[in-house]
Structure 1
């Protein structure tokens, strides 16, 4: 395991756009964090809706682990979960942009240095997050999917603002979710027959108009 890396002055912590975008730290004020279980969840409070994304960089070899970062938003709180596959130091780089800004590039707003004191393990990648997901969506279940899990009764629950319909798709099979009393989209999937196929499981949303058009929100790989 490599030692603590030297980082440029001003790299750690809030960057200029952080306060400009109305963001404040909610969970971890100190940009240097030690964890013992290979995972961290950082939360930010926002005064206006923002799109959030991130990157996880292993300092020992500068390897990026974008598949091990997951972002979602619940009301005025944006969260980022990162899972580290090896012990050692990692840079967790947070990028954000107000939802009403059409720019294609999200500037860096906050940087953490994480000292993972856990043991090496092969974590399950998070689902791939598509652009519509960043517009205020929140995932309750499932955070991850893999073929070693019991796939016969997968509970799905998520919040998708302004969605008229939400459906899960796998190999051409569609399962439409129901909206509950809290406005969350929920349902149940049986993925047993797809266990060894290495296929993709997608969560998709329709936003009105043409009822046949769905935008992909999340994509899991079995």
Structure 2
């Protein structure tokens, strides 16, 4: 393990793989050490999982004693889950992974791996977009990873991978901005934020998989 000194008590058995990790066929491809001392403002954890595995996560600030899930982004490429962490302030964080295999019923996912993350030099403190459950089912965001609050750029590039989507649009208030399918599953386009949108307006990545209804996958606050 890392030689980093953790200035608080960690429960025995908390760190690293938990009892279901190997049983679920999971493997850490990046950061197998459960103690991460970040060298920069971001770090990315990569975990491989069998097809159909459901995964969710939780990020907690030790100093603030609260969740700060908006400061990590879940993306998926094939069988790999990629977790991009960008803590908002210096300090220690707990990052917890939960999973459930495709054939195992029940809404309650099992904790499979726990990290302690130290961030000495955070970045801009901007959050990632809110990620809804369907986003975690094979989607990947290339850009924009973040939209700073107050951004009113007339041409913000969106590039996302959403498998099996029939249509993908960015909805801002009553304005719908269609993205173009550039290859199977990949959607791209420019979105105009320069309109007179009030502070706190939501920009939602909405996808239609079947029928006429759209589901929100990502939500930015602009």
TM-score normalised to structure 2 length: 0.89
Q: Residues 44-79 of structure 1: CA distance to partner in whole angstroms, max 9, x if unpaired? A: 112223232222212224222111121111111101
Q: Does residue 45 of the first structure (1) align with residue 48 of the second (2)?
A: yes
- Structure 1 Cα separation of the partners of residues 98 and 50 of structure 2: 16
Asked if structure 2 preserves the Cα contact closer than 8 Å seen for 1:99 and 1:135, the reply is no
Distance 1:3 1:152, change over 3 A: same
Q: Where does residue 118 of structure 1 map in the other structure?
A: 121
Asked if structure 2 preserves the Cα contact closer than 8 Å seen for 1:52 and 1:72, the reply is no
Gaps of 5+ in 2: none
Q: Where does residue 213 of structure 2 map in the other structure?
A: 213
Q: Where does residue 138 of structure 1 map in the other structure?
A: 140
Q: Where does residue 32 of structure 1 map in the other structure?
A: 35
1:176, CA displacement in angstroms? Answer: 1.5
1:105, CA displacement in angstroms? Answer: 2.1
Q: Does residue 86 of the first structure (1) align with residue 89 of the second (2)?
A: yes
- State the superposition RMSD in angstroms: 2.0
Q: Where does residue 99 of structure 2 map in the other structure?
A: 96
Q: Where does residue 128 of structure 1 map in the other structure?
A: 130
Q: Does residue 66 of the first structure (1) align with residue 69 of the second (2)?
A: yes
- Structure 2 Cα separation of the partners of residues 161 and 99 of structure 1: 18
1:147, CA displacement in angstroms? Answer: 3.1
- Structure 2 Cα separation of the partners of residues 205 and 102 of structure 1: 26
- Structure 1 Cα separation of the partners of residues 8 and 152 of structure 2: 40
Residue 12 of structure 2 is aligned with which of 4, 9, 12?
A: 9
1:221, CA displacement in angstroms? Answer: 0.7
Gaps of 5+ in 1: none
1:4, CA displacement in angstroms? Answer: 2.1
Would you say how many aligned residue pairs link Structure 1 and Structure 2?
218
- Structure 2 Cα separation of the partners of residues 92 and 151 of structure 1: 33
Distance 1:19 1:65, change over 3 A: same
- Structure 1 Cα separation of the partners of residues 103 and 202 of structure 2: 31
TM-score normalised to structure 1 length: 0.89
Q: Where does residue 183 of structure 2 map in the other structure?
A: 181
- Structure 2 Cα separation of the partners of residues 172 and 101 of structure 1: 40
